[in-house]
């Protein structure tokens, strides 16, 4: 298992190095968001291939991760191609680009940290797969994880679709999306991501308490970053400035877990 993880980490670092060179060439790192989901899908698939004779549980965990990561990667890649450079990365690297230090800043501030965080966040899938050789059946815990994962995938897929339709409508300019899933939570896509990875962790935990303990850092970090760090807080800070009705939306709508709107 250790050898397989070392191979995964080396592949992760090599791909990030190539993508860093691409980012320096085009002067934009924004496609890294698409690499987040695609990279986890690739690590899960690489783990499954190294297992030789994967059990049913290993195949389930691989499929869950590849479906989640592939969908997210395609969605974010299409958004980047349509919208261009992400303002967040423009702020992070703007001064470095002016000083002619874009390359080094992109490596140290974006690609190197992302390589480490991607590997750690994906530990539930990697360890769950590697600890599930044949026959490794699917038990109650893995089934519960698959159910939670399915709920998460549904939330983020529908949420992203509703947001894309809202943004494509010229009449939506300056307005707040407060219909569909967005009526019950301000971040259905983030909630879906969190459910998907706690589901993958549950399925992996069926391989034993050691796997559960070593890999819980993945969903814990993902939950933290989406709710307390670079996800929800940064996004809402920008929306509060650009959307006049956003404060009222915040007052009546749950910040994360879907709940009925509050009456004011």
> What ranges do the domains of the chain cover?
2-252
pTM of the complete model: 0.92
The pLDDT assigned to 175 comes to: 86
The pLDDT assigned to 264 comes to: 65
Asked if residue 1 has pLDDT above 90, the reply is no
The pLDDT assigned to 146 comes to: 97
The pLDDT assigned to 218 comes to: 95
Compute φ and ψ for 158, nearest 5 degrees.
-65, -40
Strand partners, 54: 133
The pLDDT assigned to 231 comes to: 73
Assess contact for 255 and 186: CB atoms under 8 A.
Answer: yes
- pLDDT, mean of residues 152-171: 93
User: Greatest CA separation found in the chain?
Assistant: 58
- pLDDT, mean of residues 5-23: 96
How many whole angstroms separate alpha carbon 196 and alpha carbon 256?
14
The pLDDT assigned to 8 comes to: 96
Asked if residue 150 has pLDDT above 80, the reply is yes
What are the residue ranges of helices labelled H in the chain? Answer: 2-26, 32-50, 56-83, 87-98, 102-106, 112-121, 123-130, 140-168, 188-205, 209-215, 217-228, 232-242, 246-252
- pLDDT, mean of residues 52-69: 95
Q: Helix, strand, or coil here: 20?
A: helix
- Which segment, 88-102, 147-161, 174-188, is predicted with the most confidence on average? 147-161
Q: How far is CA 136 from the centre of its chain?
A: 27
**DSSP string of 149-205?**
HHHHHHHHHHHHHHHHHHHH-GGGTT----SGGGGT-S-HHHHHHHHHHHHHHHHHH
């Amino acid at each position: 298992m250790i050898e397989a993880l070392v191979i995964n980490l080396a592949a992760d670092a090599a791909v990030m190095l190539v993508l860093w060179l691409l980012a320096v060439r085009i002067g934009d790192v924004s496609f890294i968001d698409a690499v987040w989901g695609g990279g986890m899908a690739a690590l899960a698939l690489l783990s499954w291939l190294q297992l030789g004779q994967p059990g049913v549980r290993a195949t389930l965990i691989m499929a869950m991760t590849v479906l989640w990561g592939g969908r997210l990667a395609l969605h974010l890649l299409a958004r980047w191609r349509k919208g261009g450079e992400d303002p967040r990365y423009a702020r992070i690297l703007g001064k470095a680009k002016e000083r002619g230090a874009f390359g080094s800043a992109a490596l140290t501030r974006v690609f190197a940290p992302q390589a480490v965080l991607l590997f750690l966040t994906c530990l539930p899938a990697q360890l769950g797969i590697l600890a599930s050789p044949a026959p490794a059946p699917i038990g109650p815990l893995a089934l519960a994880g698959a159910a939670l994962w399915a709920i998460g995938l549904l939330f983020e897929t529908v949420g992203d679709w509703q947001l894309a339709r809202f943004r494509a409508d010229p009449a939506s300019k300056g307005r707040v999306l407060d219909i569909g899933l967005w009526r019950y939570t301000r971040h259905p896509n983030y909630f879906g991501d969190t459910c998907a990875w706690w589901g993958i962790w549950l399925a992996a935990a069926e391989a034993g308490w050691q796997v559960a303990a070593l890999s819980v850092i993945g969903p814990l970090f993902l939950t933290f970053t989406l709710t307390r760090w670079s996800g929800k807080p940064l996004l809402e800070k920008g929306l509060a400035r650009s959307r006049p009705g956003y404060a009222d939306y915040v007052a009546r709508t749950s910040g994360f877990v879907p709940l009925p709107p509050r009456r004011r």
